[in-house]
């Protein structure tokens, strides 16, 4: 659905965390499909998808089934967050103030910001290695800096440019990965392509969890890229375009990684396996993946900057952040990440993946609370002005019910965790499968619904929230 604002929207985004008024709304719902499809065909999901056969020893068929189940389940949560964007017109993290209170939301915002920065730093390392693989004369540190500044330019220009690049990327990367599949299947270099590995329940559950958590990791910022759409866009349209784009793009990338690893000798690094398996078109595939990393990584920088602005604005509530503020903070984050990535250990990406698994334990209960509050409690109606008030307006500085449900949601996951910091007894009993995310969702969702509906003052605030969109 296009609006008159679409043709006149500035290339450089002027908004930051503020409400996007109707006259600035633009874009089409189908842009969400291309954003999440194109953005997910990249080296990091390819490497992650290969773990099902490399680490958990599944065969091809059961690996594909686990990948599809995980993305189809996790994608539902991710797309439900996306559908909030047009109705709210504000970024996801600042919207959390309506559930947790103006100060209560700080912890979640901080965690999301750290995760974005970690994703950004990891991806510029991948960009540096990819560029070095394409052009040997370019050292990895130089490649890291080039990749970072490429993503930085895209992130600073902002929302509209990100969507434009991913519309192009969907066609280019979509065709590229289909050609890559075709080449691999006609040039298989192993005799055990279909027989290597076997079904094992713990490995299957672990692979399902990896795929589901990949989708859930987008939840804190997915609605940032739908908030400019017209407010009258159907919730179902926003949901399905996001869901199909993300689930399909991620599944293709995950499966591509598994196929490439099985088509090459045991023990190869995933991206080396991709290069070998794709033979004569390998260099072209690496170039496409390099461009994908640079383009998609702009989303991580963009999300990190919005989270930092949200943190600062909580205390400097009179500050009105502008495009210039967003650009300055983007440069600071970019330079810090370059410095960290260049000096990082060789296993930087491995350490980062470990960190994300830990952070997701505290983000899963937030997902449950946010979705229950939006769809079941407030039914999409919020007082936007209160969200930007220093005292939280009708939502207050803290929401005890949300914070209690959040704490319990974290605690119940502990026995089911499998992270570098701690392996729970249940996870250890099922050979390391991490089901903490599923337990967290199943416990937190009904608990928060019950607590919120028992609290009479919260119900009064809920009624006040029906003044939403009065700006």
Q: What is the pLDDT of residue 246?
A: 95
Q: Which residues contact 4 (CB under 8 A, 6 or more apart)?
A: none
Structure tokens at 69: 């189940």
Q: What is the pLDDT of residue 254?
A: 96
Structure tokens at 234: 């159907």
The residue to which tokens 């590229």 are assigned:
176
- Chunk the chain into consecutive blocks of 10 residues (it has 471) and report each block's average pLDDT, rounded to whole numbers: 50 75 84 90 88 91 96 95 91 89 88 84 82 82 88 82 83 90 90 90 88 89 88 91 96 95 88 87 84 84 87 79 84 86 65 68 91 91 87 88 94 86 82 84 95 68 48 42
Q: Which of 362, 57, 388, 350 is nearest to 213 (CA)?
A: 362
**Domains in the chain, ordered, with CATH?**
24-467 (1.10.4160.10)
> Rounded CA gap, 271 and 322, in Å?
40
Q: What is the pLDDT of residue 468?
A: 44
- Per-residue H/E/C for the chain: CCCHHHHHCCCCCCCCCCCCCHHHCCCCCHHHHHHHHHHHCCHHHHHHHHHHHHCCCCCHHHHHHHHHHHHHHHHHHHHHHHCCHHHHCCCHHHHCHHHHCCCCCHHHHHHHHHHHHHHHHHHHHHHHHHHHHHCCCCCHHHHHHHHHHHHHHHHHHCHHHHHHHHHHHHHHHHHHHHHHHHHHHHCCCCCCCCCCCCCCHHHHHHHHHHHHHHHHCCCCCHHHHCCCCCCCCCHHHHHHHHHHHHHHHHHHHHHHHHHHHHCCCCCCCHHHHHHHHCHHHHHHHHHHHHHHHHHHHHHHHHHHHHHHHHHHHHHCCCCCCCHHHHHHHHHHHHHHHHHHHHCCCCCHHHHHHHHHHHHHHHHHHHHHHHHHHHHHHCCCCCCHHHHCCCCCHHHCCCCHHHHHHHHHHHHCCHHHCECCCCECHHHHHCCCCCCHHHHHHHHHHHHHHHHHHHCHHHHHHHHHHHHCCCC
Q: What is the pLDDT of residue 454?
A: 79
* Contact predicate 77/217, CB 8 Å: no
Q: Cα 334 from chain centroid?
A: 19
> Rounded CA gap, 138 and 141, in Å?
8
> Rounded CA gap, 418 and 435, in Å?
8
* Contact predicate 174/42, CB 8 Å: no
Q: What is the pLDDT of residue 139?
A: 86
Tallying the residues shown for the chain, one arrives at: 471
> Rounded CA gap, 359 and 352, in Å?
10
């Amino acid at each position: 659905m296009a609006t008159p604002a679409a043709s006149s929207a500035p290339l450089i985004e002027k908004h930051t965390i503020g409400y996007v008024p109707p006259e600035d709304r633009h874009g089409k719902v189908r842009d969400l499909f291309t954003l999440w499809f194109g953005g997910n065909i990249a080296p990091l999901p390819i490497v992650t998808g290969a773990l099902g056969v490399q680490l958990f020893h599944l065969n091809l068929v059961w690996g594909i089934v686990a990948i599809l189940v995980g993305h189809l389940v996790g994608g539902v949560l991710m797309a439900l967050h996306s559908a909030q964007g047009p109705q709210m017109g504000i970024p996801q993290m600042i919207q959390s103030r309506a559930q947790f209170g103006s100060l209560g939301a700080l912890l979640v915002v901080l965690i999301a910001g750290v995760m974005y920065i970690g994703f950004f730093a990891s991806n510029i390392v991948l960009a540096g290695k990819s560029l070095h693989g394409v052009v040997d004369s370019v050292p990895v540190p130089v490649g890291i800096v080039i990749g970072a500044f490429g993503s930085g330019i895209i992130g600073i220009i902002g929302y509209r440019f990100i969507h434009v690049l991913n519309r192009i990327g969907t066609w280019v990367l979509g065709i590229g990965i289909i050609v890559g599949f075709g080449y691999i299947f006609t040039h298989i270099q192993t005799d055990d392509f279909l027989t290597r590995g076997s079904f094992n329940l713990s490995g299957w559950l672990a692979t399902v969890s990896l795929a589901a958590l990949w989708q859930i990791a987008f939840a804190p910022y997915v609605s940032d890229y739908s908030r400019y759409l017209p407010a009258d866009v159907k919730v179902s349209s926003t949901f399905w375009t996001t869901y199909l784009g993300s689930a399909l793009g991620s599944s293709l990338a995950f499966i591509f990684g598994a196929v490439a690893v099985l088509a090459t000798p045991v023990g190869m690094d995933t991206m080396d396996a991709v290069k070998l398996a794709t033979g004569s078109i390998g260099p072209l595939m690496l170039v496409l993946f390099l461009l994908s990393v640079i383009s998609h990584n702009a989303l991580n920088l963009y999300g990190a900057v919005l989270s930092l602005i949200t943190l600062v604005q909580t205390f400097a509530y009179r500050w009105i952040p502008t495009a210039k503020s967003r650009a300055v903070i983007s440069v600071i984050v970019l330079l810090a990440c370059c410095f960290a990535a260049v000096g990082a250990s060789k296993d930087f990406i491995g350490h980062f993946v470990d960190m994300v698994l830990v952070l997701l334990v505290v983000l899963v209960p937030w997902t449950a609370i946010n979705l229950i509050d939006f769809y079941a409690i407030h039914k999409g109606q919020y007082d936007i002005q209160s969200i930007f008030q220093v005292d939280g307006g009708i939502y207050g500085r803290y929401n005890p019910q949300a914070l209690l449900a959040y704490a319990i949601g974290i605690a119940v996951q502990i026995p089911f965790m499998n992270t570098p910091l701690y392996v729970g007894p249940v996870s250890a009993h099922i050979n390391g499968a991490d089901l903490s995310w599923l337990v967290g969702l199943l416990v937190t969702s009904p608990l928060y619904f019950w607590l919120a509906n028992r609290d009479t003052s919260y119900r009064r605030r809920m009624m006040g929230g029906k003044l939403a969109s009065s700006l």
